[in-house]
Structure 1
């Protein structure tokens, strides 16, 4: 029986982007529904009481499965559509991919992405006024620290978790891509990271992200350039 998938997401949400990338990499078709999560629409909170994106709804005939937020969705997709395998084929790579998923969704978000995206994106969406420069400085400094760490990983590995492309790469790229939308990633200072990101950016699953636009939030000029 065929599966119909509907993804409720916000285009500039890193968690939503992780799921979109994985759906694209696994070539799983889906219908996307863009939601303004900060307005807590009833349709979204009925699916996920936390009011957060993403939410994936899978329908098989009369049966419906509602999966809330990125980790639950990614685990489910890896189990239900195991090819290509994106957690690694060896225990060490799977463990490292899981560690880095946690790293980017918690540590990176707390120390870098959260500051930048709150000041540059969420304040505009919520009408909270101009960005605070001190918060932007702190976020940018945190971003540089994380880019140094990513660069260090890539010195010894082809991909972040090891020899193969994994969920760790998609998590990192999802977070960085939203920051890149606003032009805040200093790619020139981290050539190894830039090369890694260019490889990801050139994959078919990444193309829909490069088309993302949101009213009032104009992307940086290099955002959709594959040879930036």
Structure 2
């Protein structure tokens, strides 16, 4: 049994939940409002960011990339031909490159500002940075979504999955970030059919169901969020 300190709309936390689901691992979720900087949480991760995975016999495991590597080292072999980090060096490099693209670049340029402005700031105190959303930040982030969606579409048109022939951590990372902002209606699916078709495949997996069942009071989900045939 693992415990994940997360926020339901933290895109990187969503990636880890998908990865744990694909590995078939039991999970206890603890919601963490990282901006509150709880002393007990900072003891687990001094950086004060989600996600953090805790498992018996291991030190706290912070960060999406570190958690993914841990899961592959400890449980990856059991997935056999469904392993999320491939065997060959070249394939592993490509999966890691795309994981970083989505968990770092997409996060910084699109998913983090949109989730922060539209969701987190509702719950933050003024001292923590709460208040009305900054529309200039939202406009810049939504423009960046289009750039990233086009890149996903190009990958989906040239490969079976984003990093190659089989589904990998790269697909889960991209889908996790898209899911958080799709809830908000900030993904222009009409602009790229290949990206939309790829996302529909990933979204239909059993590991995705817990994400699609979560709702935020006062913030209704977009019409495409739970629809598997959107």
Give TM-score, length-normalised by structure 2. Answer: 0.91
CA shift digits 1:11-49 (9 cap, x unpaired): 100111111001000101111111222212233222112
Q: Note if 1:125 corresponds to 2:123.
A: yes
Residue 13 (structure 1) aligns with: 10
Mean Cα deviation higher: 108-117 or 95-104: 108-117
1:81 aligns with 2:49: no
The answer for unaligned runs of 5 or more in structure 2 is none
| Match of residue 89, structure 2, among 83, 91, 95 | 91
Which of 201, 204, 207 is matched with 1:205 structurally?
207
The match for 2:167 is: 165
Aligned to 2:144: 142
Kindly indicate whether the alpha-carbon contact (under 8 Å) linking 2:110 and 2:144 is maintained by their aligned counterparts in 1.
yes
Q: How many residues align?
A: 222
Point out 4+ residue stretches in structure 1 off by more than 3 angstroms: none
The answer as to whether partners of 2:10 and 2:115 remain within 8 angstroms in 1 is no
Q: Cα RMSD between the aligned structures?
A: 1.5
Moved more, 82-91 or 189-198: 82-91
Deviation of 1:114 after TM superposition, in Å, equals: 2.9
TM-score of the superposition, structure 1-length normalised?
0.91
Residue number in structure 2 paired with 1:113: 111
- Structure 1 Cα separation of the partners of residues 109 and 33 of structure 2: 25
What residue is the counterpart of 2:61 in the other structure?
A: 67
1:220 is aligned to: 222
What secondary structure, in the 3-state scheme, does the structure 1 residue paired with 2:5 have? strand
How far apart in 1 are the matches of 2:121 and 2:209?
27
Structure 1 residue 64: Cα displacement: 4.4
Give the number of the structure whose residues are more often helix, by fraction: 2
CA contact (8 A) 1:67 1:73 kept: yes
